[in-house]
Structure 1
């Protein structure tokens, strides 16, 4: 099967390169504490890193679909990593960023249009759905490498906090996305294995799946269990609640800069 696309369709977009440059520069500012406002530097690093991860998430869906048989992916611009090419920029980028700013939770985005009828084989359909959240898993593993490798003594404290909070967002996005709820990637993984009758019954509820998840998360007992699971994963990666807490505190720079000397003593 050919998966050839033109060079133009595969060229990384200036939009993504700009986002990546912001992430790198802000990471340097956090590492060196060069900025007069450490919190603002953390904010830029986390938001730009989060958007970069969303672009990679969607790219993983698109690239896997291309190899699965949907040759229209290239012409749609999904392989350029340009977030402006997504079907719903608001759902894929804007809304997830707003949720990060408001509540510090990694909202699953996702709006690349895949022509599923071009793809043959249930395993291919499942892999296409799984590719996105698996990217978040890999991103989280990379961000937490200094923690699970025991190398945090070589990482400046402020940068460690920023890494921890950004990794927390990746973990929440991966777990939420893997839930077997219509409209989320987790359901996309199991959908090809369901009967046609069940799929038709569930289909009308897909647009409301994510809303239902967040509604259920408002239930105190569910909320506690969910974040307990998040904390367990973070601890397994070597990241403490202390690191994620202060990462979020610095991220919310508009609330005033935390007293670095105060919490270090």
Structure 2
């Protein structure tokens, strides 16, 4: 989540400011169709899984950023609605590098969900430091909620028997939600976990935070290339996955199917 300063523009907001965008509805349709194809084993199983996970991941990115925006709007930043952040349009959250390139690369080569959208908040309009922290908390919390919801079919034993392609895709999508949540809760400048702490820092620490924040996510990504840190990271993800009942072997199968080009 990115930070910015804007003036407030209070006024009557059109319904379009809150209506789900056509792009988001299209993503939901793609998720439903590709999910049915994976469920029915129609066509190429690997490509079906790729479409399902790609659509589901993009939808979760929209929901992650929407959660930031909704809390900010409720907390006093009326301009959030004018900027289109409450329409669930992924293009409104786009940053060429952080929103598209890096998340795609990390899912493809490492199976790591990396939310990279940007919601610019007028923090001067937010009513309290607690709400300011809650804005940053809302995004990764949404990823965690989505992971739990995606795991429910496994909790109730619905994955036994047929439709293994679909359930493998579902498990991998849940795994991506966990990686995104863990990454974003890291208390580093430029990441939601660091932004959560920012309102409570002294002015001196905030100045230092602001110098590091533009590079925080890139620093975190660089740290993940360290074998030891990478091992710690995935240990935490698998530990949380075990707590909520995510079958890691199913997620691994889903990742292999997702890489449809690597046969």
CA distance in 2, matches of 1:199, 1:244: 39
Does 1:190 pair with 2:197?
yes
Over 3 Å counting, the alpha-carbon distance change for 1:93 and 1:58 in structure 2 is: farther
RMSD: 1.6
Q: Which moved more, 1:230-239 or 1:176-185?
A: 230-239
Aligned pairs, number:
254
Alignment deviations for residues 176-212 of structure 1 (CA, whole Å, 9 cap, x no partner): 0010000000011111111111111221110111111
Question: What corresponds to 2:29 in structure 1?
Answer: 21
Question: What corresponds to 1:30 in structure 2?
Answer: 38
Q: Which moved more, 1:81-90 or 1:158-167?
A: 81-90
Does 1:138 pair with 2:153?
no
Does 1:156 pair with 2:163?
yes
Q: Quote the offset at 1:238 in angstroms.
A: 1.9
Question: What corresponds to 1:251 in structure 2?
Answer: 258
CA distance in 2, matches of 1:11, 1:225: 41
Q: Quote the offset at 1:99 in angstroms.
A: 1.8
Over 3 Å counting, the alpha-carbon distance change for 1:45 and 1:67 in structure 2 is: same
Name the SS of the counterpart of 2:82 in structure 1. coil
Write out aligned runs for 1:62-101 (5 A): 62-86=69-93, 88-101=95-108
Name the SS of the counterpart of 2:261 in structure 1. helix
Name the SS of the counterpart of 1:253 in structure 2. coil
Alignment deviations for residues 53-92 of structure 1 (CA, whole Å, 9 cap, x no partner): 0001111111110000000011101111111122525422
Q: Quote the offset at 1:163 in angstroms.
A: 0.7
Q: Quote the offset at 1:5 in angstroms.
A: 2.8
Tell me if the contact between 2:136 and 2:196 (Cα under 8 Å) persists in the aligned partners: yes
Question: What corresponds to 2:221 in structure 1?
Answer: 214
Tell me if the contact between 2:154 and 2:247 (Cα under 8 Å) persists in the aligned partners: no
CA distance in 2, matches of 1:87, 1:243: 31
- TM-score of the superposed pair, with normalisation by structure 2: 0.92
RCO comparison, higher one (Cα < 8 Å, 6+): 2
Q: Quote the offset at 1:4 in angstroms.
A: 5.9
Q: Quote the offset at 1:31 in angstroms.
A: 0.7
Tell me if the contact between 2:17 and 2:84 (Cα under 8 Å) persists in the aligned partners: yes
Question: What corresponds to 1:166 in structure 2?
Answer: 173
Question: What corresponds to 1:261 in structure 2?
Answer: none
Alignment deviations for residues 41-61 of structure 1 (CA, whole Å, 9 cap, x no partner): 000000000000000111111
For structure 2, the residue ranges without an aligned partner over 5 or more in a row are 1-9
